[in-house]
Amino acid sequence: MKNNKTLIACFFGCGLIQVIIFNQFLFNNWINPYVYILFILFIHPIKGNLFILMTSFSIGLLIDLGSNTLSDVGPIHGFSCLVLGYFRPNFIKIISSRINNLNDFSFNNLSFGRVFTYILACCILHHFLLFLFSGLQIINILISTLLSSFFTILLLVFSYYIFKK
């Protein structure tokens, strides 16, 4: 995602899809795929760290508004997206150690293993922070993190291959 039009489309598209479709999953009331982090994960790094931070925070707030968590438990999506957006450049550095120029960087050129580790790490970080403030016990937090991460990763990998073509 390099140009602004796709970014704006993706921003609202991800938000709407998450609010309208994926928030209705709710296996066992807590296990839920959060696919909107697709937007945060695949912004092109050339946009700059500040831009990534702000957009990820705003999409988090958008989801909070949409899924009614802002008034119930506070901006938990906003917080977890903010943290994810802040640490995303570090993850990118790890998976793209050979590329010096960020212009040459593209998610399409990476091998599947690297992309998968990237998605896995980001997903688990985001979900853990998300469930940390949901008022569950620590074991339940870990369980719901793992199960939700499983569904999210599944959907993210599918969508990655769909958008790659």
Partner 1 sequence: MRFLIEILIKHHVFLIFIFLSFFCLTLILKVNPYNEANALNIFRNIIYNTKSFENKVTQYINLKNVNSNLEKANCKLIEENEILKFENDELNTYKEFAKIIQSPENQRYKFIPAKVENTSWALPNNTIILNKGSSNGIKKNMGVFNNNGIVGVVSNTTKNFCEVTTIISQYSKLLTSIKTNSGFIEEGVLKWDGVNYRIATLEGVGNEIKISIGDSIFTSSKSKSFYNGIFIGTILNFQNKKSSNSHKIDVLVGVDFKNINSALIIIDNLSSEVNSLNEK
| Contact residues for partner 1, defined by CB under 8 A | 49-50, 53-54, 57, 70-76, 78-79, 82-83, 86, 133, 135
Give the residue with the Cβ less far from partner 1, 145 or 156. 145
Q: What is the 3-state secondary structure (H, E, C) of 103-133?
A: HHCCHHHCCHHHHHHHHHHHHHHHHHHHHHC
Least spacing, CB of residue 19 vs partner 1, in Å? 19
Angle at 100 between CA 95 and CA 97, to 5 degrees: 25
**Which amino acid is it at 91?**
F
For partner 1, the closer CB: 1 or 130: 130
State the minimum distance, in angstroms, from the CB of residue 75 to partner 1: 5
Tokens representing 103 are 């212009």
CB of 70 to partner 1, least distance (A): 8
SS3 (DSSP) at 53: helix
Which is nearer to partner 1, 43 or 53 (by Cβ)? 53
